Amino acid sequence: YRRVVEAIQSGAIGDVTDVHVWVGKGWGITELTGSESDPPDTLHWDLWLGPAPVRPFVAGRYHPAQWRRWWDFGQGTLGDMACHYMDLPFWVLKLRHPTFCEAEGDAVHDQMCPTGLIVRYKFPARDGFTACNLTWYDGDRIPKEVAGERVPANGVMFVGTEGKLFADYNRYRLFPADKYAGFEPPAQTIPKSIGHHQEWIKACKDGSPTTCNFDYSGALTETVLLGNVAYRTGASLEWDAAALKATNCAAADAFISKEYRDGWEI
Residue 126 lies in a domain: yes
Residue 57 lies in a domain: no
Residue 88 sits in a domain of what CATH number? 3.30.360.10
Quote the mean pLDDT of the chain: 96
Q: What is the pLDDT of residues 118-157, one digit of tens each?
A: 999 999 999 999 999 999 999 999 999 999 999 999 999 9
Does a cis peptide bond (omega within 30 degrees of 0) precede residue 64? yes
Residue 99 lies in a domain: yes
- Number of domain units in the chain: 1
- Per the structure, the complete domain to which residue 156 belongs is given by 2-27+84-254
Residue 181 lies in a domain: yes
Residue 65 lies in a domain: no
pLDDT band at 223 (very low <50, low <70, confident <90, very high): very high
Question: What is the gyration radius of the CA atoms in the chain, in angstroms?
Answer: 20
186-225 residues labelled b (16+ CB within 10 A) or e (exposed):
eeeeeeeeeeeeebeeeeeeeeeeeebeeebeebbbbbbb
Residue 266 reports pLDDT greater than 90 = no
Residue 169 lies in a domain: yes
Cα(86)–Cα(212) distance, rounded to whole angstroms?
Answer: 12
Residue 166 lies in a domain: yes
Residues paired with residue 9 on neighbouring β-strands, in sequence order = none
Residue 64 lies in a domain: no
Distances 250 to 55, 233, 236 between C-alpha atoms, Å: 29, 10, 12
